[in-house]
Amino acid sequence: MRLGFPGVWRGESLKRHGRVAIGHDSKVISLLNSHGERLYRLLVRLCLREDVAEDLLQDLAVKLSQASSFAAAQDPYAYARKAAVNLAFSWIRSRQRERERTMWLSAHSTDEPPPWMKLVNAEDIRRVLEHMESLGDRDRLILAMRYFEEAEYEEIAQVIGSTDHQARALCHKAIERLRKAMVEPDPSVLEPRTEVEP
């Protein structure tokens, strides 16, 4: 008696189950174990919405588990942080574009805002975020790390491959660009957008 598995099963199953990559999912789980709350806090600060941050964290986990480049990343947290920032700004972008959805969702937290909401001017932050979205990826990442993740310049320098002093200068320049963008949204003052992974 022989087995009757068709060829597609043999080929595709290995392809797919290879993708399941035991070590890969566990890498994501391990990352979430060690840095999950930090990523969640970053997402809450970027989205100003706990429910959205929760959704995005799930999206992030799934994306990471499917990204071969994450499996190969030397610093999984740095990779995940960059992906989280991109996801958050993608959400901010889509929120702007799809006001329909946003205005419905905005009702979600109207009755009992989380306690931290009373400590900040959400409208101001939202405005800053929307203008941050128009900055280049590097500026955005630097500002996100410095102010939304409270990272030291040393850590930022490691991520962007510069010295501490350069990181500090780049951060100030990014704020200058943000100021200009908020006063006069002239595309010429903005750093050209770059496409970066992830």
Partner 1 sequence: MTGNLPTPERHDPLQTLQSVARIQPDLQVAQRAVQRAMAAVSRRPEKHGFPQWKEIVMRGSLAAAILIVIVSVGWLAIGGASVVAAPTWADISRQTRGIDKVYIDARVYKGVELVERTEIWIKSPGIIRSREYGMFEGKLVPMECAIATPNAAVRWNERTKLGEHTSTSNRYMIQSNAAGMIEAVLGISLLADKPQQDIRINGEQVVFEPVESKHPQEPTLRGFKLESRNPAAPPLPPPFASLVYWFAEQSNTLRRLTMTMGEGDEAQQSDLVVDLKPVVPAGWFDVALPTDCTDVAAGVAARLSPEVRQVYDQVTAARKRFGDYRAVIWRDGTGGWPSFREATRGAQWRCDSIDWTVMESAIHDGNRQGYVRISPTDPFETLWTRVNRADYELTMSAMTWQGQFAILHYKLDGRGPRVSAQLYAAIKDGYEKFFAPSLRMTAWPEWMWWENLQPHGWNLQEAPLHWRLGPEDPRHPERVEVIGERQQGFRRLIRYTFDRSKDWLCIRQEWAVGSGEKLIWETTSLGRDADGLWYPSKVTFGNSHYEYAVERGAADEAFFEYPKGMPQPTDPFAQFQARMDQAIASQPATPATARGKYLAVAPGGLPRGFDDKARLEAHAAMVEKMVHISHKLNERAHRHKWVFPEDLQTLVDEGYLKAEDLRNPLHPDADPPFGYIRPDARLPNRLERMVLYESFKDWPGVVTVVFQDHSVEYIHDRAQFDRLVEEAIQPSPPSRPNGGCSAP
Q: How far is the CB of 15 from partner 1 (least distance, A)?
A: 8
- Could you say whether residue 175 binds partner 1 (CB under 8 A)? yes
- In this chain, which of 73, 75, 124, 163 binds partner 1, going by CB under 8 A? 124
In whole angstroms, what is the distance from residue 194 CA to residue 150 CA? 24
Contact 189, 174 (CB under 8 A): no
- Could you say whether residue 55 binds partner 1 (CB under 8 A)? yes
Q: How far is the CB of 102 from partner 1 (least distance, A)?
A: 9
Q: How far is the CB of 197 from partner 1 (least distance, A)?
A: 7
Helix, strand, coil % over all residues of the chain, rounded to 5? 80, 0, 20
Instruction: Please calculate the CA angle 172-173-176 and round it to the nearest 5 degrees.
Output: 90
For the segment 128-147, give every residue that binds partner 1 (CB under 8 A): 128, 131, 143, 146-147
Contact 27, 71 (CB under 8 A): yes
CB atoms within 10 A of CB 24: 18
- In this chain, which of 23, 74, 184, 186 binds partner 1, going by CB under 8 A? 23
Stretch that binds partner 1, among 98-106, 151-159, 160-168 (CB under 8 A): 98-106
- Could you say whether residue 17 binds partner 1 (CB under 8 A)? yes
- Could you say whether residue 195 binds partner 1 (CB under 8 A)? yes
Long-range contacts of 166-169 (CB under 8 A, 24+ apart): 167/142
Contact 55, 105 (CB under 8 A): no
- In this chain, which of 75, 116, 152, 185 binds partner 1, going by CB under 8 A? 116
- Could you say whether residue 186 binds partner 1 (CB under 8 A)? no
- In this chain, which of 76, 77, 110, 151 binds partner 1, going by CB under 8 A? 110
Residues in the chain: 198
Q: How far is the CB of 166 from partner 1 (least distance, A)?
A: 19
CB atoms within 10 A of CB 145: 24
